[in-house]
Structure 1
Amino acid sequence: MDREYELFARVIETGSLAAAGRTLKLSPAMVSKRIAALEERLGARLLHRTTRKLATTEAGQRFYERVVEILAASREAENLVTGVSGAPSGRLRLTAPTSFGRLHVAPHLKPFLDAWPRLEIELDLSDGYVDLVAERIDLAIRIAPSGVSGIENGLTGHRLAPNRRVLCASPGYLKQHGAPTRLQDLRRHRLLAAAAQLPWRLQGRAGTVLVQGESVVRTNSSEVVRELAIAGMGIALRSTWDIGAELRNGILQVVLPEHPGATDVSIFAVHPVTNFVPAGVRAFIDHLRAIYGPIPGWDRALKI
């Protein structure tokens, strides 16, 4: 039964019968025959198949989600007997925001895989919303409000690090336009933000303050905003994990330090709610927590 389940999971994960067959050294015809036999035994169609596309039926998607848990539990049980209890193995699908993933996830994959060589990593970087269940993602890095139970329905969140945000601009911009001394001064300055990032939520003496405005350049890319700020185009609200190096070497300077970004935002590791959390997911969460620590490296050298 495990072999049938593994075959079905490989078909879904690779997106085709032929690709799944190659990973298991089976011909496409044999894969098709075994999937058909599985569907007949279950009495339900699991896949929609055309010459160009393969997709799960509703029953097939529910079955796949359970199959993944069953296979993970089976590997865990085998590990208990063979003396490698809880050793992560198999494929681990990760997603993260583009900038954060490039700067603070990708550089830490090698030591993780060195520690767990039986794991395979698939990392997707995206600033858009990712449906973890529909996309079959094991673990996502998300920057979201702290203290939210479950992050969103069907997901469990594990806090990894704080997410400090500051207003910043280049020395050249500040020399040309002057540094704001009050929040009201921002009205006469050029603001930089990606789509949906304005209004800004800043800390004030009485709590959270909203700063309205429009970005001088319209973009859907947070990385473009960062580059525009460095180039002297205006003032941006950026996370310290993104501009820590630029703040340390003076390429960017903090403005209005008494008004940082709202402090109720943190960096989380998020995964679907399940009765069985795969060992690889648990290991990767522990790996990032150990690296970031209570005060992440990107904040330790900042004097703000």
Structure 2
Amino acid sequence: MRPIGNANGLAKRGRRGMNDFADMEIFARVVTAGSMSAAGREMGLSPAVVSKRLRRLEDRLGTRLLQRTTRQIALTEAGRGYFERVTAILAQVEEADAFVTRRSGLARGRLKVAAPTSFGRKHIAPHLLAFLDANPDLSLDLELSDDFVDIVGEGYDLAVRIAELSDSSLVARRLARNHRVLCAAPAYLERHGEPMAIADLARHTCLAAANQDPWRLDGPQGPVTVRAQGRLHTNSSEVVLQAVRAGVGVALRSTWDVGEDLRSGRLKVVLPAFRASRHVAIYAVYPSRRFLPAKVRVFIDYLAGLYGPEPYWDKGLRDLISQSPATATAAE
């Protein structure tokens, strides 16, 4: 049987193809990272090497893909079209890798996750060592922010969100319930009295971050809306937490945030017949893909197993959070 083609020629084309693919990946990483130095740090390459590989790619294509200045880069018209096609190719390669990886059950590569700041600090960061030990071929980028991130546009593999999710192209898996209760420090209640009806809140200092106002509550007679009012205005949920602990006023807080305060008596639940909508929960959301990468699956499974049907932060709070607004008796 005659050989098909020249073995040396195939080998050379194979090596060149691998180099071309690597250059494409470097180009895509530079665009998403915003600079050659940032892309180099992510890939373990020096800026000089990144620049050389980009020049080689442009020379091969015979066109300029990026406009470079000392401070920033910008895509040319050809670069924009090339970037769209390259990212599609890289996504298909990742799906192919994920298919095989999923079958072998191993998680490999770099996992980029976004999560809310306070929740991430309290209920993700402390558990990362065990996760990384169990997945030695996986690296994790955890970015904490209270801003709404564009998962697809900003290149995240998944995000943890505490919200009432609307219909979208993203896939969501509920990780845990999110109980939110009205609470205040005993010192505040001693000075100002405890509200006995929802209308009493109009005479109290209500604390809320800008994105948490107004409060939409479920009560015995149905949903109610309460405007947070007081002299403290902030965009930080953590500032609100410190203020309610210090006795500044009444706040609507999640039990994952104040569970220990409630167990210790540092804070007290007020108006237990009212709480935030049950439709708000803690979710893992990720782009819809035919093949879910193993690195995404194992992280979601890890968090779901960690939190469980009854999250550990709700332990000992059953009497405080299990009262149903639909059946509770409100003092009006």
Smaller-chain TM-score bracket? 0.7 to 0.9
The answer to whether the Cα contact below 8 Å between 1:158 and 1:270 also exists between their aligned partners in 2 is: yes
1:199 aligns to what? 214
Largest Rg, 1 or 2: 2
Asked if residue 73 in structure 1 is aligned to residue 95 in structure 2, the reply is: yes
In structure 1, the gaps of 5 or more residues are none
Partner in structure 1 of residue 12 of structure 2: none
Deviation for aligned residue 1:271: 1.3
Name the structure 2 match of 1:164: 179
Which residue of 1 is the match for residue 81 of structure 2? 59
Residue 232 of structure 1: how far off its partner (Å): 0.2
Q: How far 1:34 sits from its partner (Å)?
A: 3.3
TM-score, normalised relative to structure 1: 0.87
Show the counterpart of 2:9. Answer: none
Aligned mates of 1:174, 1:38 — CA distance in 2? 73
Distance change in 2, residues 1:48/1:104 (3 Å): farther
The 5 Å alignment of 1:1-304 reads 1=17, 2-12=21-31, 14-18=33-37, 20=39, 23-24=44-45, 27-37=49-59, 39-40=61-62, 46-55=65-74, 58-76=80-98, 79=101, 85-145=104-164, 148-149=166-167, 152=168, 154-302=169-317, 303-304=319-320
CA contact (8 A) 1:69 1:276 kept: no
Deviation digits for residues 36-85 of structure 1 (CA, Å, limit 9, x no counterpart): 15654xx8x654433321355543553354244233234346658xxx81
Question: How many residues matched?
Answer: 294
Instruction: Assess, with a 3 A threshold, how the Cα gap between structure 1 residues 90 and 48 changes in structure 2: closer, same or farther.
Output: farther
Partners of 1:78 and 1:271 lie apart in 2 by: 20
Q: Is the 8 A contact 2:108 2:137 kept in 1?
A: yes
**Are 2:23 and 2:53, in contact at CA under 8 Å, matched by a contact in 1?**
no
Question: What is the RMSD computed on CA atoms of the aligned residues?
Answer: 2.4
C-alpha distance after superposition, 1:99-122 (max 9, x if no partner):
001011111211111111111111
The residue aligned with 2:4 is none
With over 3 angstroms needed to count, the CA separation of the structure-2 counterparts of 1:275 and 1:162, relative to structure 1, is same
Please give the secondary structure, in 2, of the residue aligned with 1:166: strand
User: Matches of 1:231 and 1:190 in 2, distance apart?
Assistant: 13
Give the partner amino acid of 2:267.
L
The answer as to whether partners of 1:76 and 1:85 remain within 8 angstroms in 2 is no
Q: Indicate the larger mover: 174-183 or 12-21.
A: 12-21
Q: Is the 8 A contact 1:171 1:253 kept in 2?
A: yes
The alignment's TM-score, normalised by the length of structure 2, stands at 0.80
Q: Percent identity?
A: 47
Give the deviation of 1:169 after TM superposition.
0.3
Could you say what secondary structure the match of 1:134 adopts?
coil
Q: Which runs of 5+ in 2 are unaligned?
A: 1-16, 321-332
